[in-house]
């Protein structure tokens, strides 16, 4: 999606973002239907993205930026798991890994950290607004569980769109 805004994106960027988008689409459907996020898909997508970048670009700074994105996104998710007493599940935490790696494509490590923080802010705002709207229109109760993966995807895609194509 993001790679299509450039006339000639690098092959590595196209492949890596394709893997990331495929993982997001598959996990989005799974989370909406089962309210679960398989760890295998998230971890495999992240490793494929990093491996592809390493083989095709051989750029240590690019790998560092992508790794920082994955670590920051996962660390924030883990912190939220501890603070919210389990509202986010382990699948949500691991799903942040490929999302953060995608945020690091074509960025520096410091820019990726900022993008990850903003992605979480957008995720929280969109998730909160959805929950409030559902409560107001009685689509949800206070005990309802809402899949959080779609909101993580929205936050990531918005930040990728704002950042633009590397």
pLDDT of residue 6 exceeding 60: no
pLDDT at position 165 is 65
What is the pLDDT confidence band of residue 7, given thresholds at 50, 70 and 90? Answer: low
pLDDT tens figures, 83-96: 987 778 899 999 99
pLDDT tens figures, 104-115: 998 999 999 999
Read off the tokens for 7.
């006339």
- How many domains would you assign to the chain? 1
Sign of the torsion formed by the C-alpha atoms of 49, 87, 28 and 2: negative
Query: What average pLDDT does the segment 57-77 reach?
Result: 93
**What dihedral angle (degrees, nearest 10) is formed by the CA atoms of 28, 32, 38, 43?**
20
pLDDT tens figures, 53-66: 999 888 889 999 99
Read off the tokens for 77.
């998710």
Q: Domain range holding 13? A: 2-163
Q: Which residues have CB under 8 Å from 36's CB, separation 6+?
A: 30, 89, 91
Q: What is the pTM of this model?
A: 0.89
Query: What is the rounded distance in angstroms from the CA atom of residue 34 to the CA atom of residue 24?
Result: 15
pLDDT at position 3 is 44
Query: What is the rounded distance in angstroms from the CA atom of residue 118 to the CA atom of residue 132?
Result: 21
* DSSP codes of every residue in 142-164: TT-----HHHHHHHHHHHHHHH-
């Amino acid at each position: 999606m993001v790679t299509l805004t450039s006339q000639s994106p690098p092959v590595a960027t196209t492949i890596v973002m394709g893997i990331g988008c495929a993982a997001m689409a598959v996990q989005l459907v799974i989370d909406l239907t089962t309210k679960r996020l398989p760890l295998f898909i998230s971890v495999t997508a992240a490793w494929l993205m990093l491996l592809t970048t390493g083989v095709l670009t051989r750029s240590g700074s690019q790998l560092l930026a992508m790794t920082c994105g994955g670590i920051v996104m996962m660390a924030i998710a883990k912190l939220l798991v501890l603070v919210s007493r389990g509202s986010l599940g382990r699948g949500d935490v691991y799903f942040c890994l490929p999302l953060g790696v995608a945020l690091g494509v074509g960025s520096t490590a410091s820019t990726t950290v900022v993008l990850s923080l903003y992605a979480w802010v957008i995720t929280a705002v969109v998730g909160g607004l959805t929950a409030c709207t559902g409560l107001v229109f009685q689509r949800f109760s206070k005990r309802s569980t809402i899949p959080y993966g779609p909101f993580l995807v929205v936050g990531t895609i918005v930040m990728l769109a704002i950042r633009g194509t590397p």
